Amino acid sequence: MGDDIEKTKNEALQVIGQHRDLPRLVVFDLDYTLWPFYCEFGDEDEEPYLYGEASGVLHALKEKGIDVAVASRTPTPEIATAFLRKLGIHSLFLAQEIYPSWNHKTEHFQKIHRKTGVPFTSMLFFDDEDRNIQAVTKMGVTSILVGNGVNLGALRQGLAEFSQKSASSR
């Protein structure tokens, strides 16, 4: 792991450590959430890359024992999966729901729930599309709209909102 990734991971571990109530599963979109492009405009021979802080955040969650998953509505699932493999992060994800869809990821989350058994209220979701955030929030998932990909700020916001929601439901 590079120095920048390690530094981000350590900062993310500190952020995670500030919260008592943590999600059991954190779900990520791919395009413009983990990486800054649409994979459908690429091909499997390309060298993909993540947003600067995304890898550190992913590795911190795994180190803390928080499972991660992918929910992506892409017309090119084979390219998305190839990119995850090339990036060496394919094996981090407990569930990968990557396929074309018109239903704002609700089907993705139903399948993730069935595979993992994790209740929607125990999930945290990051996506760059407001329509997905709105639809998944209605399912009970704490959902965060990202503007510049997953980073430490998005993680802070997500964990704060998740903790707030958990505390109020107790």
Which is the catalytic residue, given 3, 4, 21, 29?
29
To the query of whether residue 29 is one of the catalytic residues in this protein, the response is: yes
For tokens 């699932």, the residue is 77
Tens of pLDDT, residue by residue, the chain (170 residues): 678 889 999 999 999 999 999 999 999 999 999 999 999 888 888 899 999 999 999 999 999 999 999 999 999 999 999 999 999 999 999 999 999 877 779 999 999 999 999 999 999 999 999 999 999 999 999 999 999 999 999 999 999 999 999 888 76
Q: Where are the beta strands (DSSP E) in the chain?
A: 25-28, 67-72, 93-98, 123-127, 142-145
CA distance 170 to 78: 42
For tokens 């190839």, the residue is 82
To the query of whether residue 21 is one of the catalytic residues in this protein, the response is: no
Q: How many domains does the chain have?
A: 1
CATH of the domain at 106: 3.40.50.1000
**Structural domain that includes position 132:** 3-169
Which is the catalytic residue, given 3, 21, 31, 67?
31
Task: Look up residue 104 and give its two tokens.
Answer: 């704002």
Phi then psi for residue 144, to 5 deg, are -120, 125
The pLDDT of residue 169 is 76
Q: Residue 26 contacts by C-beta under 8 Å, 6 or more apart in sequence?
A: 61, 66, 67, 68, 69, 123, 124, 125, 126, 158
Do residues 78 and 85 make contact, with C-beta atoms less than 8 angstroms apart? no
Largest distance between two CA atoms of the chain: 49
